[in-house]
């Protein structure tokens, strides 16, 4: 699960303008444990593309399922306020307002910290969030349809687009040699085929 920001040409993205559903929550990461006895929690971000807001409300909700990045806001989503955020090794330590003991913090483990999609800072001109590619059609440079982008994930070396065509799934590396152009407004990504890319 990843929420990275990528650059693209201005004409291919048109500043990645997009109408978003304000009720959809984008999960930024999950609370994976407690830290100490004063209520700090250990947070593992899904990506380093965002900064967690301090002294502004965020949502505590269920971790998205099936590799999705989003959850629908429902009655179980709880509003919390982070009063302190600091890196700690491969996690981030969070101080949540009103959580002052390990007993208070323990029930938060296993939940995601999320923001409404519409509250995300807009990408800079010529940039976009990878999640904005979800639902776009993928075609080859010769015009053959490959499928529709279902989601993305990071393999450590690059972002990977999961493209589905009926019962078939293709994993397309998000690298310059493969992804040739992106038209968010037009709903299309053009790729260059390389050896073995679409092999079963």
The whole-model pTM stands at 0.63
Let me know: does 87 contact 73? Beta carbons within 8 Å.
Answer: no
| DSSP string computed for 80-125 | EEEEEEEEETTEEEEEETT--SHHHHGGGTTEEEEEEGGGSPPPPT
For CATH 2.30.30.240, the residue range(s) in the chain are: 5-18+126-191
- Write out pLDDT tens, residues 179-193: 999 988 889 999 999
Let me know: does 30 contact 43? Beta carbons within 8 Å.
Answer: yes
CATH of 5-18+126-191, one of 2.30.30.240, 2.70.98.60, 2.60.40.10, 2.40.170.20: 2.30.30.240
Residue 197 phi, psi (nearest 5): -60, -40
Let me know: does 26 contact 73? Beta carbons within 8 Å.
Answer: no
Among residues 43, 46, 14, which one has the least CA distance to residue 131?
46
What pLDDT, on a 0 to 100 scale, did the predictor assign at position 102? 97
For CATH 2.40.30.60, the residue range(s) in the chain are: 24-119
User: Has domain 24-119 been given CATH number 3.40.50.10490?
Assistant: no
Q: Using CA atoms, how far apart are residues 26 and 6, in angstroms rounded to an integer?
A: 17
Q: Which two tokens stand for residue 22?
A: 């304000």
- Write out pLDDT tens, residues 49-61: 677 889 989 999 9
């Amino acid at each position: 699960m990843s929420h990275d920001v990528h650059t693209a040409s201005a004409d291919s993205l048109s500043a990645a303008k997009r109408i978003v559903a304000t009720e959809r929550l984008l999960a930024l990461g999950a609370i994976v444990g407690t830290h100490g006895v004063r209520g700090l929690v250990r947070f593992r971000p899904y990506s380093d593309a965002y900064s967690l807001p301090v002294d502004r409300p965020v949502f505590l909700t269920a971790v998205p399922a099936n590799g999705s990045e989003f959850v629908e806001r429902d009655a179980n989503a709880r509003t919390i306020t982070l009063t302190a955020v600091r890196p700690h090794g491969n996690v981030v330590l969070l101080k949540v307002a009103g959580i002052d003991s390990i007993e208070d913090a323990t029930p938060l483990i296993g939940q995601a910290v999320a923001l409404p999609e519409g509250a995300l800072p807009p990408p800079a001109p010529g940039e976009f969030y990878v999640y904005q590619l979800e639902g776009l059609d993928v075609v080859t440079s010769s015009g053959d349809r490959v499928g529709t982008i279902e989601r993305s994930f990071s393999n450590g070396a690059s972002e990977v687009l999961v493209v589905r065509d009926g019962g078939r799934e293709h994993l397309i590396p998000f690298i310059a040699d493969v992804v040739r152009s992106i038209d968010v407004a037009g709903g299309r990504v053009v790729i260059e085929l390389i050896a073995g890319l679409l092999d079963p």
